[in-house]
């Protein structure tokens, strides 16, 4: 018998998301401290600075002794600089860990509908995925808590519903249905509570498919959902218009936009849901969705912080080596040297393993700083904030494809092409 899925909602834990960068810079600090404090001290540092400043031009000292003094002083100063830089970097790591916690608190407070826009490659998809994983954990925890609290009171809720006061029972059943759905055997391969048109992979689980029918209420969304709608204007463009439902008997009208307008305005009431959408320009999205947004984040730029230089140098060397081997194989294929080309494939396979290993280290070590300008509150009263930034950890327990829509390109490779080749 297949094991039933357990209830889980703690998808993002700050300690797990920063452990690699913390350990790396902690080890660097320990090594630099031992290298400096065991053989040296601050008195020797000041003495070394004095020696370098005067060029070791002391009375009664030979040229050989001057050279030795200068060399020893340079070693002491270099060791001290290594130690001091390690202290500064480790302090920066601790500061950014605090900023990650602040970012998580900010995400929880952004509201039930959030829009994100900005230029290509700035980090919109990355931010939406991180926000979804933070929010869904908090929402599911609250849902489970309220459901478990009401289990002993189920009969009373049924009685109240029979007497006309059905709100408590409706809330209870919505939570029960959601928990039974999210944590059912049939949905063991899905991330509980997350619907999206982006592909996120968390421990071999993926989100539920987010459909247009969910917004028009033709298909059910379960309680405490978080919806990720990437490139929202491709599905819900600003050209969508509501229509009057008062029509002649023989005149059919598409009222889909009306249903979507109703849902996005009442999403919190209907499903306790949160909508996260991104686009290149928020104004290109269906007006009703824009009106419902509590927060709009205009991303301006992004920066990677605290990725070790050592990793970057190793990666650059591997890139150069891979390109050189790849070019050589390409030339061998053109010249008909197929045996040589086959050997190059083996060499490329070894390089691929090394590249993937260092890429994983780089992915897990460091932080990403996203700069943004925000709009908050009622759509008619919004004002722009000054440019701020948030900090995301690079080491997250999920993966996502930020080019998932490439499969929609008319010239994208098809499965039958792969089979033929």
Provide, rounded to the nearest whole percent, the portion of the chain with pLDDT above 90. Answer: 74
What is the average pLDDT score of the chain? 90
Rounded to whole angstroms, how far apart are CA atoms 136 and 352? 35
- Where does residue 211 rank: exposed (0-12), middle (13-18), buried (19+ CB within 10 A)? middle
Rounded to whole angstroms, how far apart are CA atoms 52 and 70? 6
Range of weakest confidence among 8-12, 133-137, 153-157, 186-190: 8-12
Instruction: Give tens-digit pLDDT for 254-277.
Output: 678 999 999 999 999 999 999 999
Rounded to whole angstroms, how far apart are CA atoms 203 and 260? 33
CB–CB of 207/221 below 8 Å? no
Handedness of CA 308, 312, 314, 318 (dihedral sign): positive
pLDDT greater at residue 62 or residue 320: 320
Instruction: Label the pairing between strands 190-196 and 388-393.
Output: unpaired
DSSP tag of 237: B
Rounded to whole angstroms, how far apart are CA atoms 118 and 417? 35
CB–CB of 220/180 below 8 Å? no
The pTM of the full predicted model, rounded to 2 decimals, is 0.88
How wide is the angle at C-alpha 269 spanned by C-alphas 128 and 237, nearest 5°? Answer: 50
Instruction: Give tens-digit pLDDT for 142-161.
Output: 999 999 999 999 999 999 99
Task: Read off the pLDDT of each residue in 291-298 and give the average, rounded to a whole number.
Answer: 94
Rounded to whole angstroms, how far apart are CA atoms 81 and 189? 51
């Amino acid at each position: 018998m297949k094991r039933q899925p357990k209830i889980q909602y703690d998808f993002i834990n700050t300690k797990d998301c920063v452990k690699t960068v913390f350990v790396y810079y902690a080890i660097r600090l320990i090594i630099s401290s031992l290298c400096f404090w065991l053989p040296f001290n601050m008195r020797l540092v000041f003495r070394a600075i004095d020696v370098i400043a005067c060029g070791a031009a002391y009375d009664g000292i030979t040229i050989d002794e001057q050279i030795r003094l200068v060399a020893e002083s340079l070693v002491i100063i270099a060791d001290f600089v290594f130690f001091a830089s390690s202290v500064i970097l480790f302090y920066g790591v601790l500061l950014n860990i605090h900023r990650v916690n602040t970012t998580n608190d900010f995400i929880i407070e952004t509201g039930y509908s959030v829009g994100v826009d900005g230029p290509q490659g700035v980090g919109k998809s990355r931010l939406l995925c991180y926000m979804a994983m933070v929010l869904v954990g908090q929402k599911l925890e609250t849902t489970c808590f309220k459901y478990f609290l009401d289990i002993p009171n189920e009969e009373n809720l049924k009685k109240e519903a029979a007497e006309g006061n059905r709100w408590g029972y409706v809330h209870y059943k919505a939570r029960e249905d959601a928990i039974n759905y999210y944590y059912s055997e049939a949905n063991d391969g899905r991330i509980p509570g997350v619907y999206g048109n982006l592909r996120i992979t968390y421990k071999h689980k993926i989100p539920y498919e987010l459909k247009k029918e969910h917004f028009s209420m033709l298909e059910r969304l379960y309680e405490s959902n978080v919806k990720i709608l990437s490139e929202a204007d491709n599905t819900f463009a600003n050209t969508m218009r509501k229509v009057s439902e008062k029509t002649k008997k023989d005149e059919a009208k598409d009222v889909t936009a009306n249903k979507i307008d109703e849902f996005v305005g009442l999403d919190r009431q209907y499903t306790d849901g949160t909508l996260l959408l991104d686009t290149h320009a928020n104004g290109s999205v269906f007006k009703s969705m824009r009106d419902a947004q509590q927060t709009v984040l205009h991303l301006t730029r992004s920066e990677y912080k605290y990725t070790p230089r050592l990793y970057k140098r190793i990666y650059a060397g591997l890139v150069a080596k891979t390109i050189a081997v790849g070019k050589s194989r390409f030339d061998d294929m053109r010249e008909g040297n197929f045996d040589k080309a086959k050997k190059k494939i083996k060499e490329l396979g070894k390089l691929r393993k090394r590249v993937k290993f260092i890429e994983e280290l780089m992915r897990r070590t460091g932080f990403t700083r996203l700069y943004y300008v925000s709009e908050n509150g009622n759509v008619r009263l919004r004002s722009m904030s000054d440019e701020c930034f948030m900090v995301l950890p690079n080491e997250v327990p999920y993966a996502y494809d930020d080019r998932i829509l490439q499969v929609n390109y008319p010239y994208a490779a098809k499965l039958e092409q792969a089979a033929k080749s």
